[in-house]
Amino acid sequence: MYQKIERIGPAQFEAEIKLVDGSGNEKITTRTYERCNSIFAAYKSLIIAIRGLHDCTVTLHTNHHQLSVELFHERAKNTTLANMLDDIIARNNLEIKNGKGE
pTM for the predicted model, two decimal places = 0.92
Residue 79 pLDDT greater than 70, yes or no: yes
The bridge status of strand 26-34 relative to strand 12-20 is antiparallel
For residue 28, the enclosing domain spans: 2-98
Confidence band for 100, pLDDT divided at 50, 70 and 90:
confident
Residue 102 pLDDT greater than 50, yes or no: no
CATH number of the domain bearing residue 83: 3.30.420.10
For the chain, what is the domain count? 1
Average pLDDT of the residues in 11-21: 96
The secondary structure of the chain as a DSSP string is -EEEEEEEETTEEEEEEEEE-TT--EEEEEEEEESS-HHHHHHHHHHHHHTT--SEEEEEEES-HHHHHHHHTS---SSHHHHHHHHHHHHTTEEEEETT--
Average pLDDT of the residues in 11-35: 95
Give the integer Cα–Cα distance in Å for 60 and 101.
10
Confidence band for 66, pLDDT divided at 50, 70 and 90:
very high
> Is-contact 8 31, C-beta < 8 A?
no
Give the integer Cα–Cα distance in Å for 71 and 94.
14
Position 62 scores a pLDDT of 97
Average pLDDT of the residues in 36-56: 96
